[in-house]
């Protein structure tokens, strides 16, 4: 329980990792979930087009077929859009949400939309850059290094930049995250003690 008497939304086992940079395995799992989700969305769109064609032309119905280049372009555009929106709005995609991850800038704040778009393009067209996490002492991918971003563990339901106090820059140490219901500027037990 926090000082304000509310229960922390962060699991007890996860608290030591809160704010630390995520490693390769966690990020690969989150990316796999995102890739599968975009695949399901793509199939749903294709199925919707097939149903619409059947409803409008049932006698001459045939399954929709697109050239491979157009299919690839559509899927990559959908993936880039999905990643860009997720990172620009909340700092996380569905895969990041499941794994307790958040993408932040070098100050621990939200990525700007242009940076989110560049990061998404970089991740989609150069996914091998993620393997740099294994060699990096700071668990940063090649995309993170170039664009000055980080992927951190963050199980809090609200983005840090939407909470009441600002966060310091991303460091090797865990980022402090304000607990819901905590009053900004309220003395901690050690500050108010004589």
Give the pLDDT of residue 65. 86
Selected residue with higher pLDDT from 169 and 24: 24
Give the pLDDT of residue 178. 53
pLDDT band (50, 70, 90) for residue 68:
very high
pLDDT band (50, 70, 90) for residue 15:
confident
pLDDT band (50, 70, 90) for residue 126:
very high
Comparing CA positions, the residue from 83, 74, 86 lying closest to residue 42 is 74
Give the pLDDT of residue 66. 85
The enclosing H or E element of 72 equals helix 68-89
pLDDT of 89-123, one tens digit each?
999 999 999 999 999 998 888 999 999 999 999 99
pLDDT band (50, 70, 90) for residue 84:
very high
Comparing CA positions, the residue from 13, 153, 140 lying closest to residue 97 is 153
Cα distances (angstroms) measured from residue 67 to each of 42, 70, 74, 117 = 15, 5, 11, 26
Whether the pLDDT of residue 193 is over 50: the answer is no
Whether the pLDDT of residue 27 is over 70: the answer is yes
Minimum mean pLDDT range among 37-41, 93-97, 188-192? 188-192
């Amino acid at each position: 329980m926090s000082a304000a008497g509310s229960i922390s939304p962060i699991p007890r086992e996860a608290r030591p990792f809160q704010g630390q940079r995520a490693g390769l395995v966690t990020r690969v799992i989150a990316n796999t979930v995102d890739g599968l989700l975009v695949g399901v969305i793509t199939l749903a769109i294709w199925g919707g087009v097939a149903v619409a064609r059947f409803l409008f032309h049932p006698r001459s119905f045939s399954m929709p077929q697109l050239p491979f280049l157009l299919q690839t372009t559509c899927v990559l555009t959908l993936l880039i859009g999905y990643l860009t929106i997720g990172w620009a709005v909340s700092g996380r995609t569905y895969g990041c949400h499941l794994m307790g991850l958040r993408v932040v800038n070098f100050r621990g704040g939200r990525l700007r939309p242009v940076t989110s778009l560049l990061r998404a393009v970089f991740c989609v067209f150069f996914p091998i850059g993620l393997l740099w996490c294994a060699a990096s002492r700071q668990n940063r991918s090649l995309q993170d290094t170039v664009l000055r971003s980080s992927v951190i563990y963050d199980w809090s339901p609200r983005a840090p930049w939407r909470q009441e106090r600002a966060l310091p820059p991303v460091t090797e140490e865990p980022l402090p995250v304000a607990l819901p219901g905590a009053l900004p500027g309220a003395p901690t037990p050690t500050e108010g003690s004589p």
